[in-house]
A and B are shown apart, each in its own frame.
Chain A
């Protein structure tokens, strides 16, 4: 059962453009929604995270938008750079489940220079 659905599978964006990756979840008990970035040969690294009490969180060029009623959240990368080319994963976890994250399938982002 895929509890977190991520789209698109892959994305090509021009340098300076906006990259948008979307995720939808089913379990309303989820209360923590992080995004991870993974480069080849490396483990995932936390980019930014949000809890359902806010609708948006911004850190530098990265913004999470959260829609609790639609059970959707998205990552926006502003002014995308070639160095942003990586695989991005959304994830979710619920209170009381410690660090048990449910991950989306991942989005391969390529930023063309």
Chain B
């Protein structure tokens, strides 16, 4: 059974650009969550999608957005990138809301 797949694994952007990250959940999983991991702030919840609807949102500015497609695949977008957005962005999926989370390996974003 394939795990959670995140693409791209690594990317470098410059300030002011925007980026889109992709996540394919485990087959059959309908909930997708996104987390940001940085050395300073640790693991922080960004948002969660279930059946194409955002169900929960963390305390991040509106530059961070996401969506989920009918096949449960999800994307997150960060616009007007700032240096502080450099982080490992982790996607996690679960069968339902409030269930066991399986994380992907993450997309490491570097903003120059």
Contacts and interface: CB of A to CB of B under 8 A. Distances in A.
Task: Tell me if chain B binds chain A.
Answer: yes
A41 B107 CA distance: 10
Given A99-B48, A99-B92, A100-B48, A46 B101 contact: yes
Nearest to A49: B100
Contacts of A95: 98
Interface residues on A, range: 20 to 34
B106 A99 contact: no
Contacts of B99: 99
B4 A97 contact: no
Interface in B16-68: 31, 33, 35, 42-45, 48, 50, 55-56, 58
Contacts of A102: 45
Interface string B58-89: 10000000000000000000000000000000
Contacts of A93: 98
A31 to B, nearest CB: 10
Contacts of A91: 43
A89 B23 CA distance: 22
Contact of A44 (B44, B55, B90): B90
A43 B98 contact: no
A34 B103 CA distance: 14
B56 A97 contact: yes
A44 B44 CA distance: 13
B43 A98 contact: no
B6 to A, nearest CB: 8
A43 B42 contact: no
Contacts of A42: 105
Contacts of B33: 98-100
B48 A105 contact: no
Given A43-B92, A99-B56, A100-B56, A105 B101 contact: no
10 contacts: A36-B103, A41-B105, A43-B105, A45-B102, A49-B100, A98-B31, A99-B92, A99-B97, A104-B42, A106-B43
Interface of A: 32, 34, 36, 41-46, 49, 89, 91, 93, 95, 97-106
